[in-house]
Structure 1
Amino acid sequence: MFHLQAHDLVFLAPMALVGLLAMGAVPVAAKALRISCRCAGVIIGLVMGILVLEALPLLI
């Protein structure tokens, strides 16, 4: 079960920002495609952050 706490946002917000910057660096010509890449980057960053947060208790 996924339990998101308020202090987890300290980790999730930077992960979303990293996803935004990484996918925003993809060179595309169309503005709509650039926005879509950035949105996908944010979603991928958040999913990766959630996976890391859920895996940390297993490592301890």
Structure 2
Amino acid sequence: MTILCDTNIISELVRPRPNENVLAWSSGVSLISISVITLEEIIYGLSAKPNPRIQAWFE
């Protein structure tokens, strides 16, 4: 199943210690999609606070 996720879900999943409930939910999802708005929010956030691990996801 494909799920369209907002920025808050993506941000939670990349945290060093993500919320257990979000991890449990995401384990049942086979494909996560994001909107162009979410992508731009992530790019904007990475420009303010670079994170090579997250930036590698988008290369």
Verify same fold: TM over 0.5: no
Structure 1 length-normalised TM: 0.28
Structure with the largest fraction of strand: 2
Structure with the largest fraction of helix: 1
Indicate the structure (1 or 2) with the bigger Cα radius of gyration: 1
Structure 2 length-normalised TM: 0.28
